[in-house]
Amino acid sequence: MNELTANSQELTAKRKYTFPKEEHLCRKKLIEELFSKQSSSFGVYPLRIVWIKTAAPTTAPPQVLISVSKRTFKRAVDRNRLKRLIREAYRLNKYRLTEQPNGHEIALLGIIFTGKEKSPLALVERKLISAFHRLLGTTIEAAPASPPLP
């Protein structure tokens, strides 16, 4: 048991909880491709997940687009806060995608907030983890404790 705990602590220490600019989906052509007919999607309220698969499994993180509707949240302050919460939840849990034994097949990923009310980080994070498991077709195991904040 101690060996397992030490191994998970070692792995957690090696992980980088970052979300660099290279992982942000910004190119208009790629965004149009993400929302075209060839993409797949599903909803895990209050999030909608849209993605495009790669040709071969990879361990590289996908490019991610995060969106909150202007129609639902009129004030930019509210939209920006929700986007910040989603980015934080993604940043802390993207290892669930990238550390798969066989890799993952997600090239582009869109996370769209579809809820009508502001949600706390805990709810957004729980739903995002659930969406990742659904994307990968795996079962949800007990979530490890969140990493220490820098």
What are the pLDDT digits (tens) for 43-98? 999 999 999 999 899 989 999 999 999 999 999 999 999 999 999 999 999 999 99
Place of tokens 């499994």: 57
Q: What is the pTM of this model?
A: 0.85
* Residue 58 parent element (H or E): strand 47-58
pLDDT by residue (tens digit) across 16-38?
Answer: 899 999 999 999 999 999 999 88
Determine the 3-state secondary structure of 10 from DSSP: helix
The domain ranges of the chain are: 31-136
For the CA atoms of 140, 143, 146, 147, the dihedral, rounded to the nearest 10 degrees, stands at -90
Distance of CA 42 to the CA centre of its chain: 14
For the CA atoms of 33, 34, 37, 38, the dihedral, rounded to the nearest 10 degrees, stands at 90
Fold of 31-136: Ribosomal Protein S5; domain 2 (3.30.230)
